[in-house]
């Protein structure tokens, strides 16, 4: 039995592109009220970060999912750990880039990221359970 279940590359790539467009657009919108340049910088910063973080999140959730054995913890803990670490990263990057409205920029993305991590963990759990039942 293949014990290491994972999500597809299509799922990973589509999720990352969607994150770039959604959160880059949000960051532009929320920060362009200060100035157009601030909006562009924040949008590109958040969009690029969201793209890369989404790819990282999928792999990190998968890795943590396989390290934890209790079903409830295996779904919840990867989401908590990954979102806490990526939130700190996002805050720091926006601070360095001079984003005027950091919390308003990252808070919606963090909330959705937590849901996305939970969704990914549930998806992995379902795949794992289906494969386990095939070998019984």
Percent of the chain's residues with pLDDT above 90: 65
Give the residue extent of every domain in the chain: 9-134
From first CA to last CA, the distance across the chain in angstroms is: 10
pLDDT exceeds 60 at position 1: no
Given a contact cutoff of 8 angstroms between Cβ atoms, the answer to whether 8 and 58 are in contact is: no
Torsions phi, psi for 26 (to 5 deg): -60, -45
**How would residue 133 be classed by pLDDT, with cut points 50, 70 and 90?**
confident
pLDDT in tens, 45-82: 999 999 999 888 888 998 999 899 888 899 999 999 99
Q: What pLDDT digit, counting tens, does each position of 3-21 carry?
A: 566 667 888 889 899 999 9
What six digits make up the tokens of 52?
A: 């890369």
């Amino acid at each position: 039995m293949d014990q290491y279940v994972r999500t597809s590359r299509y799922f990973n790539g589509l999720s990352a592109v969607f994150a770039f467009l959604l959160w880059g657009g949000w960051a532009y919108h929320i920060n362009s009220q200060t100035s157009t340049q601030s909006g562009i910088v924040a949008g590109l910063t958040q969009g690029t970060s969201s793209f890369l973080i989404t790819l990282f999140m999928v792999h990190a959730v998968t890795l943590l999912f396989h390290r934890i054995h209790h079903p409830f913890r295996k779904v919840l803990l990867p989401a908590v750990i990954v979102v806490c670490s990526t939130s700190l990263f996002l805050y720091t990057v926006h601070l360095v880039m001079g984003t005027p409205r950091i919390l308003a920029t990252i808070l919606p993305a963090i909330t959705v990221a937590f849901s996305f991590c939970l969704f990914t963990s549930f998806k992995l759990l379902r795949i794992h359970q289906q494969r386990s039942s095939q070998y019984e």
